[in-house]
Amino acid sequence: MRLLISCLLLGLANAGEYSERFLTLYNQIVDSNNGYYSSHGVPYHSLENMLVETVDHGHETDSEAISYNIWLHAMYGAIADDFAPFNNAWSVIENYLIPQAQYNMDKYNPSLPVGSAQFSVGVDPIYNELKSAYGEEKMYVMHWLLDVDDNFGFGNVQGQCEKGPSAGGPSFVHMGAGSVWQGITYPTCDNFTYGGTNGFSFSSSTPNWHYNAAPDADARVIQAAYWASQWATQKGKISEIQSTLSQVAKLGDFLRYSFYDVLYRQAGNCMGTSCPAASYKESAHYLLSWFIGWGGDVNTANGYSWRTGSSEMIIGYQNPVAAYAMVNDPNLSPKSATGAEDWKNSLERQLELYAWIQTSDGSLGGAVTNSWKNVYGTPPSDVQGYTFHGLYYENEPLDDDGTSDWFGMWSWTTDRLAQYYYITGDETARSVLEKWFTWLYQHMTVSDNSYSVPMMISWSGSLPTNAKMNVLESGSRFFGVGSSIARSLSYYAAKSGDSKAKSTAKQLLDVIWKNHKDSKGLYVRSDLSAFTAVNTKVYIPVDGWTGTYPNGDKITASSSFLDIRSWYKQDENWPQLQAYLNGGSAPVVDYHRFWEQADMALALGAYSLLFE
């Protein structure tokens, strides 16, 4: 009995206000009655299905939410001494996010990595070493988008190609070209069962497949695994998660494809015909780029497959914690011959980029590219004259969908930099953060009852030396931006001893908790006025193309967003929206985005671990 009482007292002594808040929110998130997860354990983008932003309905999910999920459960292990949920979160990634249906990967030719000889293309420098290390040809990174309940009915469930509505379960999908209101959602594997004569293939006459990875999300998984490794080691439980960590290390090994130019051409000073195809790693820019793509034919006869990285590198995607982990944590060591070396180069290059891209007022610039205007064009003379390892500055990636106008990209990346600074004490990181927070304090307010942080931004200037980040909108409509700012301030304060950073972090956490709390977690109240865009006409890349979805919805040039998503009319909020479209007032919905719940929980947990 005395031992039991001693344990209880020890538990109470270690408990604190912010760890209790973390556990309260964590328990609300994992409570099945609240509905954050599907029956397969996959987190939805949001509780509410009627939500259109990076997804076209809230019961899709993306690799971003999935990466937040595993990080959330890593933090739970640190606070509750239980790492089983962390292992389970990894199982969700392996079971549903890393695709198994990758046909003809045994026919991949690393000397012709994009599958066509019509371009000047370099060689894939890492395929053979990955195959040697892991004994398989398939790519091992996450596809970025899942139709969690198979609303569209394609049935691209794990390992299958267009099995239809009866397949159920998480289905791999793509977002079509154009804005999210214009896009035609289509399957990753296209057997021509649905869509038009050639399925949803506007340029192929044979059944085909392809996937895209969002490297920042895969890197966040590595970041989460690093912290899980540290916390489990401290608690003497590292053996419980070593199997998971070894698989995350494998994912990190394959994530290196994001380091390479889209056509494996020379990285740096790359313009037109003067940009040679690389014979080895001359194509490596060593930054986390916009995407990884891979695909091929479905049929085996004369089949082929391809894989590629990207030439667009936004500062918001960089993750020095992930790079540090792949180099320095023995539990996350890559097996390939040059994996650790590549990640070491990436860590150095990322830190350089933070300093190089920082503007004179302390904000961080946008992006660099190895392919000007996506065609290896000729940049303006001032851009040519001031490069980053030969990469050209641009405020936004050319293929950006508006993401780089959202301030969350900057609150996320500086949070990672602050964590790296906390881990290492790196002076470059400290200097960048000090200037960054000086700028940020001028563009945010926080009190006991309210707060306002940047939400949307725009750019002026053509180089980091004259660029300026202009805040277009401030407020609290994404409380996850506020919580990630609080977390970055916490890590910075814990290492530097900066009292203002610590007190501002605490204020932000307190006011978000006070203003956004409800019975299901944390919410943001929003009206559905944006849904007037449901009448937006869809974008069809090829004139005259028509098709049909599995549920019979017709897709033509005159179809609208809503016409090809008739199942939206079954949503519980549809009657209110219909009344609004008929001339009534805009209905109000309390949104519960998964990533925001997790981000706030992680900020609370970090503050507890650092200061309580």
pLDDT digits (tens, 9 = 90+) for 98-110: 999 999 999 999 9
pLDDT digits (tens, 9 = 90+) for 495-505: 999 999 999 99
Backbone angles phi, psi at 519, to 5 degrees: -70, -15
pLDDT digits (tens, 9 = 90+) for 36-81: 999 999 999 999 999 999 899 999 999 999 999 999 999 999 999 9
Q: C-alpha angle with apex 279: 276 to 284, nearest 5 degrees?
A: 80
User: Could you give the residue ranges of the DSSP H alpha helices within 178-319?
Assistant: 215-234, 242-254
Which tokens is 151 given?
């609303």
| 596 contacts: CB under 8 Å, gap ≥ 6 | 478, 479, 480, 483, 522, 524
Instruction: Find the mean pLDDT for residues 484-507.
Output: 98
Q: How buried is residue 33: exposed, middle or buried, by Cβ count under 10 Å (0-12/13-18/19+)?
A: exposed
Q: Is 405 a catalytic residue?
A: no
Backbone angles phi, psi at 468, to 5 degrees: -140, 130
Instruction: Find the mean pLDDT for residues 115-128.
Output: 89
pLDDT band at 2 (very low <50, low <70, confident <90, very high): very low
Q: Give the model's pLDDT for residue 399.
A: 63
Query: What distance in Å separates the CA atoms of residue 122 and residue 307, rounded to the nearest whole number?
Result: 12
Question: For the residues of 464-526, what is the DSSP string, one character each?
Answer: TTT-EEEEEEEESS-HHHHHHHHHHHHHHHHHH--HHHHHHHHHHHHHHHHHHEETTEE-EEE
| 246 contacts: CB under 8 Å, gap ≥ 6 | 331
Q: Roughly how many angstroms between the first and final C-alpha of the chain, as a whole number?
A: 28
Q: Which fold has domain 17-144+214-523+590-611?
A: Glycosyltransferase (1.50.10)
The three-class DSSP label of residue 183 is coil
Instruction: Find the mean pLDDT for residues 297-309.
Output: 91
Indicate the DSSP class of residue 175: P
pLDDT band at 273 (very low <50, low <70, confident <90, very high): confident
**Strands 468-475 vs 517-518: parallel, antiparallel or unpaired:** unpaired
pLDDT digits (tens, 9 = 90+) for 141-185: 999 999 999 999 999 999 999 999 999 899 999 999 999 999 999
Query: What proportion of the chain, given as a percentage, has pLDDT over 90?
Result: 90
Q: Give the model's pLDDT for residue 4.
A: 36
The three-class DSSP label of residue 335 is coil
Instruction: Find the mean pLDDT for residues 24-36.
Output: 98
| 483 contacts: CB under 8 Å, gap ≥ 6 | 508, 509, 512, 596, 599, 600, 602, 603
Query: What distance in Å separates the CA atoms of residue 36 and residue 46, rounded to the nearest whole number?
Result: 7
Q: Give the model's pLDDT for residue 302.
A: 81
Backbone angles phi, psi at 489, to 5 degrees: -65, -35
- Confidence check: pLDDT of 19 > 60: yes
Query: What distance in Å separates the CA atoms of residue 416 and residue 478, rounded to the nearest whole number?
Result: 19
- Confidence check: pLDDT of 203 > 90: no
Q: Give the model's pLDDT for residue 204.
A: 77
Q: Give the model's pLDDT for residue 400.
A: 61
Q: Which of 162, 190, 216, 342 is catalytic?
A: 216
Instruction: Find the mean pLDDT for residues 521-525.
Output: 97
- Confidence check: pLDDT of 5 > 90: no
Q: Which of 64, 282, 405, 510 is catalytic?
A: 64
Q: Give the model's pLDDT for residue 11.
A: 39
What is the number of alpha carbons within 13 Å of residue 388 lying toward its C-beta?
A: 30
Range from 156-170, 196-210, 371-385, 422-436 carrying the lowest mean pLDDT: 196-210
Q: Residue 598 in contact with residue 69, Cβ under 8 Å?
A: yes
Q: Give the model's pLDDT for residue 566.
A: 95
Q: Is 82 a catalytic residue?
A: no
Q: Residue 84 in contact with residue 127, Cβ under 8 Å?
A: no
Range from 65-79, 116-130, 425-439, 587-601 carrying the lowest mean pLDDT: 116-130
Q: Residue 267 in contact with residue 281, Cβ under 8 Å?
A: no
